A and B are shown apart, each in its own frame.
Chain A
Amino acid sequence: MPNAIRLGLLALGGMLISISSARAGGEGAVRLEIFEGLPKGWNWSPPATPPVEVDQTPVLALVRLPARYNARGIEVDRVAPLALHATTGLKVSAGRYQLLLRARHAARLVVDGKVLAETRPIVRNSSGHESVPPAPEPQDPRWHALPPSGQERLVDWVADGGEHKVELWAMVGGKGLRNETGELLAAVVAPGGVPTLIGGDVPLTESGWSSFVASETDRLEAQDARSRRMMAAAEAESWERRHQYARQLSGEDPCEGSNPVDRHLGTMGSLADDAAFFRRLALDTTGVIPEPEEVAAFLADPSPRKRARAIEARLADPRWADGWMGYWQDVLAENPGLLKPTLNNTGPFRRYLHNALTDNLPIDRLVTDLVRMDGTALGGGPAGFGLATQNDSPMAAKAQVLSRAFLAADMKCARCHDAPFHPFGQEDLFRLAAMLEEKPVAIPTTSTVPRQPGGREPAVSVTLAAGDRVEPGWSLTDYTAEVLPREVLAQGATLRDRLAALITSPTNQRFAPVVVNRLWHRYLGYGLVEPLDDWDGSTRKWAPELLADLARDLVVHDYDLKQIARVILNSRAYQGEARSEAKQAGPPVRRRLTAEQVLDSLFAAAGKPFRAEELCLDIDGRRPPTEFLNLGRPRRAWQLALPSNERDRPALTLPVASSLADVLIAFGWRPARPDPTTLRETSITPLQPASMANGVAIIGRIARLSDDSAITQLCLIDQPVEALVRSVVLRILSRPATDAEVARLVDYLGPTHAGRVVPGAPVRPPMRPSRRRVSWSNHLHPEATRIQMEEEQVVRDGDPPTLRLTPGFRERMEDIVWALVNSPEFLFIP
């Protein structure tokens, strides 16, 4: 009985009391076919063309489609119209059941060849004036509630005890719609029971569904990664050829034998202690403070090799990619808008970047992908890097981003005139822009310096006029000659391929040093060369031989960023005691956490997830991706985005996301990134400590001892008060508490500790805004404003405090958590 399940029914006195099931087929009980490019007016008949993809999924339910990649491993858009067909067998004891179909778009549930249920196609919307749908009332309070965009069909069905063939057909996306499945599922319901997803034993309760979504998300990510890497392997040979040539050109490995940083900077000075090193390492690699158990194990480890081992573990940690994201989003001006494009909105190519960092793509290959601007533009591929909405010359903007990021050539001024203090004419920039455009470009009127009537002469030199045509060509010949060796650029290359090769070629004198200098700055807090992104003006240079060795090391190790990170993190300089300022190359300077590190570390300290909204203002999926993006539910700070609510409409708020963004913005995160930035503003303003002291996210979530707080759990353990405060300090500051701190905190808790536990008190769920009902389609309805303002209040109220601890004790412990996260120690990398 492969591909089928058995549901054993235990009837007692005519009442059905339980369903149990066991899958016969194991993983992949459901066959999933995906059809693309269906003919216009296709109406459920078996498609003439074969499916583009055949997959296995665990049950008859989908939360999203698997990603599709091109021959270079770059994600592409699926071709609409698009449908999927999922098939499985269902075998249950003979009797009466109901079958449940839920879908956002047109779908059909077919059993034994007969259509039993059908949903309607999505009705596109553009007005915003619809009424808000009522809060969903499930058939049964135990069932997972239908999402606001969902349709539900429940039909009677009789099983004969044999195996039945179940088919689910569904349309996904289409012209002017995002390719989202919504919640798409088919389930079988025994009388009086909870629906069970067909093909497996997942109950459709709130918790059953949310754990299914979590496991599906992980499964799909792993599946995507497998197919991406498989596809990307097709280019492996040509890259190996390039890297081999680069290695030959570079000569021997400068890191052979000893650490080049130690060789150049020596090994004097005192080392940071183990706890400081470990917290620093965690923040610098995975972007978040370490778990207290990890800290305790590291401190207890007597091995002299433990630092090197900890470094290897962090380099292999999948959160390595998260740790880099905010940096590259800034440098590459990743700027997706949730709501209608405005200035310099790009696609959400954060998705490509995260994948590339997860796969540890060599940096030359990553840059090549960006320059090629391939794949899906609005679905997260590098083509999204190529977008710049409302920009008079997107490719000039991109040439500027690329040259600054990877060649430290600041061509910003050359956009409108010859740069007055850089060696770039306007034509130099537009020649690169023409390479990206793959054809000559004209200078737009708005990228010129207009003479104002009666105004003064422009102080800048202007050699091109509006409308002048500029031919494609390489202008940065000081860095590398325009002619490239055959190993680097194969025959038949496009102009974009050529530009990518010119930027990343081992013959380019800038690329490798600029990249390693960026890494050095990230880990040490100062650059060996500064400014990091502008090497043509006056620069400050320290330890040039070290920079050269690191650059050579990058090339010799096939442009692997982790190799450079490994060398730096293992160096005596990185592991030295932090300094207040850097007057020459040496140990790190004391750095404030980045905005993303602050937010992620706060939630790590509290042991809570964000529970933010899905970052989308078109939750019923009725508007085109050109106007509304869906950036998903954020799990890390870099994934956040804000609705650019220039409309001031309360109905367009995302209250949880906004409460998180308040903290991020105070610490320098940019809610919009229309231009590239290497160094965020670091000035200290009162709004930083204020947002920590009073912010909704801190007060209502981090410092709130609710039943989902890790600190509440610590307080419930039966242990002496000294042990409790030690564990809290370890959790938040990643170091053992001093005796003086223990005494101070024990004193602060006073007599509240004894008798703190309230026996038999109920466990309360955390703050959860009610299921969203307001979408663009109805946001102008008065009800939408009322609902969203209520939601803002829910978020302001925060997680309900636990009833399992006495209020007297709880408040004192909340004060301690508040004080520890507000202490400057929390905000500085040790």
Chain B
Amino acid sequence: MAIFIDLLLNALVIGVLLGGFYAALSIGLSITFGLLDVVNIAHPTMLVLGAFIAFLLNSTWGIDPVLAGIISTPFFFVLGWLIYQVYYNVFEKSGAESLRGLAFFFGLLFIIEVGLIIQFGVDHRLVEAPYIGQSWNIVIGEEIDVAIPFRLLVAFVVAAIATLAIHAYLTKTFFGRAVRAVAQDMMALRLMGVDPIRVKRIAFAMGVATAGIGGALMIIVLPIEPSLGRLYLGNVFAIVVLGGLGSISGTLLAAVIIGIAESIVATFFGPSWAPAVSFGILLAVLAFRPEGLFGKTAGAH
């Protein structure tokens, strides 16, 4: 019994930490997809790109991965800016975003992934930092102690700061309110004398920019390889849809739920079943509760 409680407690703690990390991966998509209605299915692959940039900076100059993530964030902002420019002019303006827009982002996902394979191969990559590989043991009772790996703790703390900052920015500042206004009623915003396309462009670039810091956290938490993006597609979409489209706080809560579910399944059934968890939850949510926990209806609109 003590072993069971020990495993469960560890799984819960790891799950919460994992959830914070997942929130950092999903918040960009929550902005681009949830608020702006741009289906950036390449987002997880951009995260992997961010992770490889962090790897490169870390292995050549020994830069701390978190710092590397902050360094690469402006690069992703510009990338997002350019992508939205193309997306708007080619697809959104003519109302052809559904089929062709999806194919466009699928193609982008593919180009980034295969590009990474050509450049780095399919081997798993790691970074070096003083906090990686150590953990913090908390003894609770007889035969019960909780081990908190520092790598997850660092990722959790950075993710929490980043997501809370974005959350505050979107709810408290003038521009953040403009972004949410775009999501609600673009025409009304235009009548108020604001250029909604400019707002969308900046917001989309912000969403993509989170791939810099998110990717860095990714390589801190686990070894990375190029095809990881498609695996995380399930995670991030499950989180955004479960949280409810357009709800940043819903995204945070959903991330923790998915993190705990994955961690419990990995502990009791084996880690190789973990990918099926988020995809299974995603399928179930889409089939039975497309509106998610909070927010507007997904799927049937």
Partners in one complex: no
A positions within 8 Å CB-CB of B = none
B positions within 8 Å CB-CB of A = none
